[in-house]
């Protein structure tokens, strides 16, 4: 035996590295520097403050939680810094600071720490927080500003108009979240991670490749300009940020080689479906979170067989056959004709022990987390319920006065003492029954009808009506607005109570240029045109937002009909 050959025997793991968690996380921070620097240059000091608040909040919440729970404080591993930085880069540049702090709390406490901390979270904390903020504050999370002007993201414009400036999207001279705009800066950071072998290119390449194939096929079928359509989708919507910096998260992505491929392909397909067929123009965040939830299943299916697995299985089968033969030889002859069970049934069965205790612990933990979060949310709701109601009432009253600024007392019919609550509800039912049989109103419904009184009663002092109307036909969801109509059926103004349309496109409905088209018009109904209005009854459509224009126009027409019916009562 060669004496120079030295073998070392040790317990697993046998693959070791000099890098630790803090080194890896610090490399991720370095890789995000180009995109961060460009985003701060593009959006200014407030964006810088927003990113710093996210980082500080994530570090602070992690240290506070671990200290209160008696755990080792691990903020030195930079994982909280990475979470805060990624969250900040995924926020619009004008989001209120307190929402960023709330998102940081959700990312660290709910998504990360309540499930055991780093290595135990079931989804990417930064993306979990971003989706939480989108659901809770959709209007603020879709308010994108570029060069001091509120506008739509390039993908939203592409979905509405079919055109986009791909070169500007690649460089980053567009609206969007702080860190997603510059594809060039993100690719620079991605190259650093790959060269440092912090991430494998397998997931992002499978992700982007699958998505690109689907988008190309769709563009060919729809007869779009493939180069522009594909380029815009690749450079926009946070695809690069998600593919290289969040889909590759060690904790929430597969570790098996085949699993990485399946994971990447699934992400590409899911992003394609959500972007093209969903109401939003983005889709990366939800795709990654859904894929995170499927990682345990993906790893189970793609787990490789260990060395010698096949031979081991054959050996066990041979041993079993020998045991059965031995049992057959030793069996008394008189048993052969008896009613005994088969040899296989007599052989002792080997059963895996079911971990009942582990299951109970998991169920108990989930129930406790649910109860705690429910109690916290309930407490927050009770504390904020009255202030929120007061603010909503003030906003509604301001909207009422905006649509009827000519004096008079704006009250519900029941407050006059001349109409009972039952009679008032019957009036609303009658109006909505009329609207429901005519598709031209676009399913608009009257939510409330108020009188504008200049005197003591309806007969002597009725000046007009303030009508609250809703519609489910907005591009971004439900629309709620109020319309002021004089007694002679002249429109006095419109104002929105709820509008979640695309920034820079449908949100232009809430500008004076659009709303003033209805003011002081006395017509039986409005229609919209794309070629320029030629009469009082025509409204110039918002470019790239005909769905929003149609919904608002139908809502105003519904309010006019409601005023006619109310006037007859």
**One-character DSSP codes across 193-211:** HHHTTSS-THHHHHHHHHH
Average pLDDT for 230-255? 89
Out of 255, 270, 302, a domain closes at: 302
Crossing angle of helices 45-68/97-105, nearest 10°? 30
The pLDDT, as a whole number, for residue 314 is 57
Residues 174 and 28 in one domain: yes
Residue 1's SS3 state is coil
Q: Note down the domain range covering 195.
A: 21-302
Task: Identify the H or E element spanning 445.
Answer: strand 445-453
Under 8 Å CB-to-CB from 159, ≥6 apart: which residues? 281
Q: Is residue 217 part of a domain?
A: yes
Strand extents, DSSP E, 279-436: 409-411
Residues 222 and 96 in one domain: yes
336 phi/psi in degrees, rounded to 5: -65, -30
Identify whether 318 is part of a domain: no
Q: Which of 256, 286, 302 is the last residue of a domain?
A: 302
- Does 423 lie in the same domain as 291? no
Q: Is residue 556 part of a domain?
A: yes
Q: Where are the alpha helices (DSSP H) in 166-308?
A: 166-171, 183-195, 202-221, 226-235, 239-245, 257-277, 284-302
Predicted pLDDT of residue 301:
82
Separation between Cα atoms, residue 169 and residue 181, nearest integer Å: 6
Least confidently predicted of 79-83, 246-250, 437-441: 437-441
Same domain, residue pair 285 and 427: no
Residue tagged 């309010």 (tokens):
559
Highest mean pLDDT among 15-29, 317-331, 449-463: 15-29
CA dist 43 to 49, 164, 172, 430, Å?
A: 11, 21, 11, 51
Question: Of 156, 143, 68, whose CA–CA distance to 113 is shortest?
Answer: 68
Q: Provide the mean pLDDT of the chain.
A: 82
> For the residues 350-360, what does the mean pLDDT come to?
58
**Rounded Cα gap, residues 396 and 24, in angstroms:** 51
- Cα 478 to the chain's mean position, in Å? 17
pLDDT at 345 over 80: no
Residue 328 lies in a domain: no
Mean pLDDT value across residues 382-405: 77
Distance CA 245, CA 189 (A): 9
92 and 225 part of one domain: yes
Q: What number is the average pLDDT over the span 124-145? A: 85
Mean pLDDT score, 52-72? 92
SS3 state at 130: helix
Q: Is the pLDDT of residue 338 over 50?
A: no
Q: Name the residue among 240, 309, 233 with its Cα closest to residue 273.
A: 233
Query: What does the pLDDT read at residue 248?
Result: 92
Assign 335 a pLDDT band (cuts: 50, 70, 90): very low
3-state secondary structure of 470: strand
Q: Is 220 left (phi over 0), alpha (psi -120 to 50) or beta?
A: alpha
Residues 6 or more apart in contact with residue 107 via CB below 8 angstroms: 58, 83, 84, 87, 125, 126, 128, 129
The answer to the question of residue 309 being in a domain is: no
Indicate if 435 and 561 belong to the same structural domain: yes
Q: What is the Cα–Cα distance from 174 to 146, expressed in whole angstroms? A: 7
Q: Is residue 272 assigned to a domain? A: yes
When comparing pLDDT for 540 and 454, which is higher?
Answer: 540
CA 181 – CA 143 distance, rounded (Å)? 15
CATH of the domain at 156: 1.10.3430
Q: Within a domain: residue 51? A: yes
Lowest mean pLDDT among 26-30, 33-37, 294-298, 352-356: 352-356
Give the model's pLDDT for residue 267.
92
H/E element holding 233?
Answer: helix 226-235
Interval 43-59 mean pLDDT: 94
* pLDDT tens per residue, range 428-457: 888 888 888 888 888 899 988 988 887 655
Q: What is the mean pLDDT of residues 78-84?
A: 92
Least Cα distance to 213 among 205, 254, 295, 248 occurs for: 205
326 domain residue, yes or no: no
Residue 336 is predicted with a pLDDT of 45
Q: CA angle, corner 46, sides to 44 and 48, nearest 5?
A: 75
Choose one of 282, 302, 322: the last residue of a domain.
302
Same domain, 171 and 288: yes
Structural domain tally of the chain? 2
User: How far from chain centre, in Å, is Cα 544?
Assistant: 23
Instruction: Give, in degrees to the nearest 5, the angle at Cα 163 between 207 and 43.
Output: 75
Mind listing the pLDDT tens digit for each residue in 308-323?
A: 555 555 555 666 666 6
Of the candidates 237, 172, 171, 249, the one whose C-alpha atom is nearest the C-alpha of residue 204 is 249
CA 24, distance to chain mean position in Å, is 28
* pLDDT tops 70 at residue 341: no
What lies within 8 Å, CB to CB, of 386 at 6+ separation is none
Q: What is the mean pLDDT of residues 385-407?
A: 77
Q: Is the pLDDT of residue 30 over 90?
A: yes
What are the DSSP E strand ranges found in 403-490? 409-411, 445-453, 462-474, 477-486
Half-sphere exposure in the Cβ direction for 150 (13 Å, CA): 18
In terms of Cα–Cα distance, which of 208, 202, 210 is closest to 254?
A: 202
What's the rounded mean pLDDT across residues 401-412?
Answer: 80
CA distances, 85 to each of 34, 91, 99, 176 (Å): 13, 10, 15, 16
Is pLDDT above 50 for 150? Answer: yes
Tokens of 142: 């879709």
Same domain, 420 and 284: no
Question: How far apart, in whole angstroms, are the C-alpha atoms of residue 294 and residue 267?
Answer: 11
Shared domain for 274 and 423, answered yes or no, is: no
pLDDT, position 472: 86
Asked whether residue 344 carries a pLDDT value surpassing 60, the answer given is no
Report the share of the chain in percent with pLDDT over 70: 80
Confidence of residue 240 (pLDDT cuts 50, 70, 90): very high
pLDDT tens, 477-516?
A: 789 999 999 888 999 999 998 888 877 788 889 898 999 9
């Amino acid at each position: 035996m060669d004496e120079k050959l030295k073998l070392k025997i040790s317990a697993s793991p046998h693959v070791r590295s000099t890098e630790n968690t803090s080194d890896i996380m610090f490399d991720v921070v370095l890789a995000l520097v180009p995109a961060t620097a460009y985003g701060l240059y593009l959006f200014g000091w407030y964006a810088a403050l927003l990113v710093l608040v996210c980082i500080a909040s994530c570090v602070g919440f992690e240290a506070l939680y671990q200290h209160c729970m008696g755990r080792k404080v691990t903020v030195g591993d930079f994982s909280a810094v990475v979470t805060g930085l990624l969250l900040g880069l995924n926020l619009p540049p004008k989001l209120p600071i307190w929402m960023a702090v709330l998102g940081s709390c959700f990312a660290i406490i709910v998504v990360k720490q309540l499930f055991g901390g780093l290595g135990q979270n079931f989804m990417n904390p930064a993306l979990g927080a971003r989706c939480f903020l989108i659901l809770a504050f959709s209007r603020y999370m879709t308010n994108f500003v570029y060069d001091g002007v509120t506008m739509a993201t390039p993908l939203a414009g592409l979905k509405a108009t079919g055109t986009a400036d791909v070169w500007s999207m690649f460089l980053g001279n567009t609206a969007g979240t702080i860190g997603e705009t510059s594809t060039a800066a993100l690719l620079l950071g991605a190259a650093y991670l790959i060269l440092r072998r912090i991430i494998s290119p397998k997931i992002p390449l499978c992700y982007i490749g699958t998505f690109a194939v689907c988008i190309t096929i769709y563009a060919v079928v729809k007869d779009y300009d493939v180069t522009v359509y594909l380029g815009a989708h690749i450079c926009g919507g946070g695809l690069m940020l998600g593919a290289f910096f969040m889909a590759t998260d060690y904790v929430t992505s597969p570790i098996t080689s085949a699993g990485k491929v399946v994971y990447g392909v699934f992400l590409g397909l899911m992003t394609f479906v959500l972007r093209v067929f969903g109401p939003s123009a983005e889709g990366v965040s939800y795709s990654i979170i859904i894929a995170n939830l499927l990682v345990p299943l993906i790893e189970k299916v793609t787990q490789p067989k260990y060395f010698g697995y096949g031979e081991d299985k054959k050996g066990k089968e041979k041993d079993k056959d020998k045991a059965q033969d031995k049992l057959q030889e030793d069996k008394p002859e008189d048993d052969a004709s008896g009613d005994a069970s088969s040899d296989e049934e007599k052989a002792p069965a080997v059963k895996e022990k079911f971990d009942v205790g582990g299951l109970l612990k998991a169920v108990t933990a989930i129930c406790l987390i649910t109860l705690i979060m429910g109690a916290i949310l309930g407490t927050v709701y009770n504390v904020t319920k009255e202030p929120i109601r007061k603010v909503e009432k003030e906003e509604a009253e301001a909207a009422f006065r905006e649509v009827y600024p000519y004096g008079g007392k704006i009250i519900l019919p029941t407050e006059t003492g001349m109409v009972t609550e039952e009679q008032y509800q019957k009036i609303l039912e009658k109006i909505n029954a009329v609207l429901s049989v005519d598709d031209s109103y676009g399913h608009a419904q009257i939510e409330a009808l108020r009188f504008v009184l200049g005197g003591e009663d309806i007969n002597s002092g009725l000046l007009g009506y303030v009508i609250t109307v809703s519609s489910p036909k907005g591009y971004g969801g439900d629309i709620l607005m109020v319309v002021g109509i004089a007694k002679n059926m002249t429109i006095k103004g419109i104002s929105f109570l709820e509008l979640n349309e695309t920034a820079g496109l449908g949100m232009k409905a809430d500008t004076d240029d659009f709303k003033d088209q209805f003011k002081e018009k006395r017509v039986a109904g409005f229609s919209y045109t794309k070629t320029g209005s030629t009469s009082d009854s025509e409204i110039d459509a918002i470019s790239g937002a005909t769905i929003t224009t149609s919904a608002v126009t139908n809502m105003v027409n519904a309010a006019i009909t409601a005023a006619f019916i109310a006037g007859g009562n």
